């Protein structure tokens, strides 16, 4: 069943609404769609830039979608379009979803923002949510999760796991803010254990290039790093390469321990299930507003991946303590003093970066190497 637009946009006078309701009941489906009534489900569309089988970024978004449908079966229905490039194709997909009755659309790729803004402007009665973006519109909000929290813990655990060698590697897709959140947090976490920790960085310039990811890990391993954190859409190839080279493996998005049974340490996981339910409920009850939504351990939007066999009981206990402090607001990953890679004090002691500053990261912390 379909409803028409966002219910919060307008309200009919009570008498007219009552008459229309009686007519709908007597006549059946209206021209706007089948079985339109007050109990119609909210139709929610999801668009991913890659396959949801990638066991990474797109996989986790789909897991959030499936959890939303399972948690709210009486009030929500969902559809998915995957492998949609960051081109005009995504605008056509969004418009098709709208024509099919979808009232809430999650544009999950960083590069979808401009397209989402254009389609949102043409469809003011539809709610849009763009992942990782920083620009909103009256009917378009943005969202992310504070994965810098588990990434910081991952860095600390990595340094505790290899105290004899706190040189680490980082393989990222592009030098953009969402990558810098994690790169900086991982480095600061390692430095919380050993201030001398460093992180050598290689960018593949692609969200999905297994050959380039493998080559990047191999090149870092050849320099003597103790382990590598992999942040691309599907970190599988990078994690497997680290395992073959006998170094520690950490990754973003999901639990990849099965791909590195010996060297897996931990990683950062998205908690989209909770966030998607929160957004859907706000649209249904009319409380949705255009803003940026984010959260970490406290909100259930971020999680730490399971630990691998190389992680000691002491490191696990320390990780649990750090997570608890973050969840209770006692530990801020980006609290000062923080100095950038060029030696400039960016965050003085006694202050911390705001969410807006984190989302706009265009610099890296001291100890990160390979980034201009």
For the residues 193-222, what does the mean pLDDT come to?
97
Contacts of 195 (CB under 8 A, 6+ apart): none
Q: Judge whether 153 and 122 are in contact, CB under 8 Å.
A: no
Per DSSP bridges, beta strands 368-369 and 198-203 are: parallel
Same domain, 201 and 114: no
The lowest-confidence range among 5-14, 164-173, 305-314 is 5-14
Question: Is 178 within a domain?
Answer: yes
Q: Which of 70, 42, 62, 50 is nearest to 127 (CA)?
A: 42
Same domain, 33 and 63: yes
Q: Judge whether 177 and 346 are in contact, CB under 8 Å.
A: no
160-169 as b/e: b if 16+ CB within 10 A: bbbeeebbbb
Same domain, 278 and 260: no
Give the per-residue pLDDT at 372. 78
* Tokens 């969004």 -> residue: 94
Question: Is 167 within a domain?
Answer: yes
> Where among 226, 261, 293 does a domain terminate?
293
Q: Judge whether 333 and 152 are in contact, CB under 8 Å.
A: yes
Same domain, 75 and 188: no
Six token digits for residue 133: 């973006």
What is the residue range of 287's domain?
7-145+272-293
At 104-118, the pLDDT tens digits run 999 999 999 999 999
Same domain, 248 and 321: yes
Same domain, 227 and 358: yes
Same domain, 236 and 362: yes
For the residues 345-357, what does the mean pLDDT come to?
96
Give the per-residue pLDDT at 39. 52
Query: Looking at the 3D structure of the chain, how many domains does it have?
Result: 2
Give the per-residue pLDDT at 33. 33
Q: Give the single-character DSSP code of 112.
A: G
**Distances from the Cα of 152 to the Cα of 131, 191, 297, 348, angstroms:** 21, 10, 12, 19
d(CA 144, CA 154): 19
Q: Let me know if 215 is exposed, middle or buried by CB neighbors in 10 A (0-12, 13-18, 19+).
A: middle
As a whole-number percent, the residues of the chain with pLDDT over 90 amount to 87
pLDDT band for position 134 (cuts 50, 70, 90): confident
Contacts of 318 (CB under 8 A, 6+ apart): 156, 157, 160
At 210-257, the pLDDT tens digits run 999 999 999 999 999 999 999 999 999 999 999 999 999 999 998 999
At 36-80, the pLDDT tens digits run 333 589 999 999 999 999 989 999 999 999 999 999 999 999 999
User: What one-character-per-residue DSSP string does 289-311 give?
Assistant: -SSEE---TTTTSEEEPPP-TTS
Per DSSP bridges, beta strands 302-304 and 264-270 are: antiparallel
Q: Let me know if 361 is exposed, middle or buried by CB neighbors in 10 A (0-12, 13-18, 19+).
A: buried
Question: Is 299 within a domain?
Answer: no
Q: Judge whether 310 and 161 are in contact, CB under 8 Å.
A: yes
Give the per-residue pLDDT at 90. 97
d(CA 328, CA 335): 15
Same domain, 171 and 233: yes
Give the per-residue pLDDT at 12. 36
Same domain, 161 and 84: no
Q: Let me know if 22 is exposed, middle or buried by CB neighbors in 10 A (0-12, 13-18, 19+).
A: exposed
Question: Is 244 within a domain?
Answer: yes
pLDDT band for position 1 (cuts 50, 70, 90): very low
Same domain, 27 and 122: yes
Question: Is 1 within a domain?
Answer: no
> Where among 226, 259, 293 does a domain terminate?
293
d(CA 42, CA 277): 12
Give the per-residue pLDDT at 7. 31
Question: Is 319 within a domain?
Answer: yes
Number of residues written out for the chain: 372
At 3-43, the pLDDT tens digits run 323 333 333 333 333 333 333 333 333 223 333 333 589 99
Question: Is 313 within a domain?
Answer: yes
Residue 2 has pLDDT above 50, yes or no: no
> Which H/E stretch holds residue 158?
helix 148-161
For the residues 349-369, what does the mean pLDDT come to?
95
Q: The domain that contains 361 carries what CATH number?
A: 3.40.50.2300
Residue 346 has pLDDT above 80, yes or no: yes
Same domain, 134 and 168: no
As a whole-number percent, the residues of the chain with pLDDT over 70 amount to 90
Same domain, 26 and 62: yes
Question: Is 81 within a domain?
Answer: yes
């Amino acid at each position: 069943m379909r409803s028409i637009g966002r219910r919060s946009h307008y309200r009919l006078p009570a008498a007219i609404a009552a008459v229309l309701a009686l007519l709908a009941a007597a006549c059946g489906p209206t021209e706007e769609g089948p079985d339109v009534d007050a109990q119609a489900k909210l139709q929610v569309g999801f668009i991913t830039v890659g396959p949801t089988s990638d066991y990474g970024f797109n996989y986790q978004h789909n897991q959030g979608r499936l959890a939303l449908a399972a948690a709210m079966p009486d009030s929500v229905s969902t559809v998915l379009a995957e492998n949609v490039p960051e081109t005009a194709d995504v605008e056509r997909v969004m418009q098709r979803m709208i024509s099919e009755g979808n009232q809430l659309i999650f544009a999950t790729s960083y590069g979808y923002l401009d397209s989402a803004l254009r389609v949102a402007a043409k469809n003011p009665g539809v709610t849009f949510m763009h992942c990782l973006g920083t620009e909103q519109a009256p009917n378009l909000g943005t969202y992310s999760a504070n994965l810098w929290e588990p990434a910081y813990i991952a860095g600390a655990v990595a340094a505790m796991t290899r105290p004899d060698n706190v040189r680490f590697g980082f393989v990222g897709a592009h030098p953009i803010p969402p990558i810098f959140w994690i790169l900086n947090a991982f480095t600061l976490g390692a430095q919380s254990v050993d201030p001398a920790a460093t992180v050598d960085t290689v960018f593949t310039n692609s969200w999905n290039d297994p050959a380039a990811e493998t080559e990047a890990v191999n090149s870092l391993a050849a320099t003597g790093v103790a382990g590598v954190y992999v942040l691309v859409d599907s970190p599988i190839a990078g994690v497997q390469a680290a395992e073959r080279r006998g170094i520690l493996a950490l990754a973003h998005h999901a639990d990849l321990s099965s791909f590195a049974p010996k060297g897996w340490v931990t990683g950062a996981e998205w908690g989209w299930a909770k966030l998607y339910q929160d957004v859907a409920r706000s649209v249904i009850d009319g409380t949705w507003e255009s803003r940026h939504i984010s959260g970490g351990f406290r909100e259930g939007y971020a999680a730490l991946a399971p630990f691998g066999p190389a992680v000691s009981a002491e490191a696990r206990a320390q990780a649990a303590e750090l997570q608890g402090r973050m969840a209770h607001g006692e530990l801020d990953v980006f609290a000062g003093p923080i100095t950038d890679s060029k030696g400039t004090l960016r965050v003085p002691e006694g202050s911390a970066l705001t969410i807006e500053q984190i989302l706009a990261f265009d610099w890296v912390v001291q100890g990160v190497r390979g980034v201009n």
